[in-house]
Structure 1
Amino acid sequence: MIEVTDHDGVAILSLNHGPVNALDLEILTELPTALARVADARAVVLTGEGRCFSAGVDLKRVIDGGAGYVQEFLPALSTAAFAWFTHPKPTVAAVNGHALAGGCVLGAAADVTLMSGGTIGLTELGAGVPFPTVPLEIMRYACAAVSSLVLTAKTIGLAEAVSIGLVDQAVIPEELMSTALKHARKLAAVPADVYALSKKQLQQPAVQRIETLREQDDPGVTEIWGSPATRDFLAEFMRSLGRK
């Protein structure tokens, strides 16, 4: 589900999970493991296979699995996002297509976010589910326009994403990976211990909020995600997508 390749000391992690790289328990469990495998790499690039970076959470799995699945899935989502966000080496997201909901979070969590097409946005509230603490705090750190993105659940195009700082640079598809590797090598030229400490210092307020809020916020989030009312809302939401 996550293909790992080496490019002259830069690790490339490619999400390869169905047509839209939907996030489910298995791929989210695999991401921290993949990051641990490439701990010695000079930098890490995360991208998607196919036409999407990631279309976000696999909502069908949530509907079918109910509360039991949610109780495993949400901690895995938070653990994966946090591991990627706090990875001590330079990280670059090569967003090769749509990046929605959790896919948007993974794209924004990188040190540098490049995008070559598609739409991006935080669609959670449109699907009737709240944010767990970790993804929300990552987005608060990554983009000043997070309130609008969260509360409107809108998706935006590449030009607007760059204009609000959600994406650092627009890149034509043919040059996405070469540009990502260029950024990764440039960041990796900084001594690793200096880079890691600087990144930790910058992220410290977000990490402190996560540590303070997660225990008190996440139980309520889990309850809502796993409720029968949410499952009904998600089912109708997915039917509405099929009608468009």
Structure 2
Amino acid sequence: MIDLQKEGGIWTATINRPEKANSLTEAMLAELGDIALAATDARALILTGEGRVFSAGADFDAARAGLATSPLWERLSGAIAPLPCLTIAALNGTVAGGAVGMALACDLRIAVPGAKIFYPVMKLGFLPQPSDPPRMARLIGPARTKMIFMAGQKIDTETATAWGLFDQIVEADMLLDASRALAQDSISATPAHAAAIKGMIP
């Protein structure tokens, strides 16, 4: 249920379980991690979803069985963050729960109008994955991070953009084209050049 397309140096991984709001099973989460670990060969990596939701996080039954606190989430975000290529979360809709971590680990987050972001760990009684709060705090500051993790706020498109969680808003039918366009300068450079510039940005 993870579709991977490789074209012109751009790897596009699509979560394809729209009938379940692209919620992730253990196998899907492991597959995404495998793709991210292998993407050292990619010139750009785009993560997106099928349908109107990027991902609702862990599948409900799998979450109750322990997936909500699985190290597979940290394995995935930990594989995305150090990639030498440009990484883009193309958010075709709302991103929630553990799925927020993979979006935070990307270099850019491009969203469609109406996309929301929320991470209801306080309400559900789970701890977030260790790298997610500090990554979010680096983007939007500690107080706004607490609004999401501790106050359980659902952040709408406009607010997420104003805060810096979303970097660009594009219409749904242009999402992938816009994401690929953002990667063009990066993939036209040598991999070493792209990696060197990315390495200069904290």
TM-score (norm 2): 0.87
Structure 2 residue 123 is the aligned partner of structure 1 residue 126: yes
Matched residues, percent identical? 25
AA of the residue aligned to 2:51: G
Cα RMSD of the aligned pairs, angstroms, is 2.1
Structure ranking higher in helix proportion: 1
Length, aligned pairs only = 198
Deviation at 1:106, TM superposition (A): 1.8
AA of the residue aligned to 2:177: S
2:41 is paired with a residue whose SS is coil
Q: Which residue of 1 aligns with 2:17?
A: 17
CA contact (8 A) 2:97 2:121 kept: yes
Q: Which residue of 1 aligns with 2:31?
A: 30
> Structure 1 pair 189/173, CA: closer, same or farther in 2 (3 Å)?
same
Q: Deviation string for 1:139-184 (max 9, x for gaps)?
A: 2334333232211111121111100000001111111111000011
Q: Which residue of 2 aligns with 1:48?
A: 49
Of the three residues 133, 136, 143, the one matched with 1:136 is: 133
CA contact (8 A) 2:47 2:90 kept: yes
1:94 is paired with a residue whose SS is strand
Q: Which residue of 1 aligns with 2:108?
A: 112
TM-score (norm 1): 0.73
Structure 1: gaps spanning 5 or more residues: 204-244
Q: Deviation string for 1:183-219 (max 9, x for gaps)?
A: 112333444224324444545xxxxxxxxxxxxxxxx
- Stretch moving more, 164-173 or 10-19: 10-19
Structure 2 residue 93 is the aligned partner of structure 1 residue 92: no
> Structure 1 segments of 4 or more deviating over 6 A?
none
AA of the residue aligned to 1:128: G
2:71 is paired with a residue whose SS is helix
CA distance in 2 between partners of 1:55 and 1:85 (Å)? 21
